[in-house]
Chains A and B, each alone.
Chain A
Amino acid sequence: EAGVTQFPSHSVIEKGQTVTLRCDPISGHDNLYWYRRVMGKEIKFLLHFVKESKQDESGMPNNRFLAERTGGTYSTLKVQPAELEDSGVYFCASSHATGLRFGSGTRLTVV
């Protein structure tokens, strides 16, 4: 089976710009998660979709972050406007019954 794919793999943007990250989960996986790892820190949960519904978005840091999963397939995570502290690696993961499968992440650098 194809794995979880994320795009882009790297993004360098200036402070104040907008960036949209995309995640394509494994086909048939209803659960989709976004996580973030900031340099030197642990992986932090951002939010969880079940199909197209936001099940838990308690980890979203502020209203500059907007996640969508229209149609319950792929998901996007938009950061607008980006700040320096948003730099890190953004991981997407999907699951069906047990275990998570991760994408290779998007490394975001805000300069």
Chain B
Amino acid sequence: KAGVTQTPRYLIKTRGQQVTLSCSPISGHRSVSWYQQTPGQGLQFLFEYFSETQRNKGNFPGRFSGRQFSNSRSEMNVSTLELGDSALYLCASSYQRQGGNEQFFGPGTRLTVL
């Protein structure tokens, strides 16, 4: 079974621009979560989508948004980029069967904001 895939793997943007990142979950997984990883703040939860609905949200500003499609693929968008948005953005998928919430991560998208 193929793992979680994320595109693109690397992105360079300038301040003020917006960016869209894509995530394809493991086949059959219906939950997709997004995390931001930085050296200073570590791994932080952004939001989770399940069946095209945002089910959980972390403490990030409204510039960070996401969506999930009917095939469970997900995108996250960051508008009005700031230098501090430079990070590794990780997507994780989960089957969400009863009693199980193992999350499997993709390789991430490395975003650099100049």
Pair from one complex: no
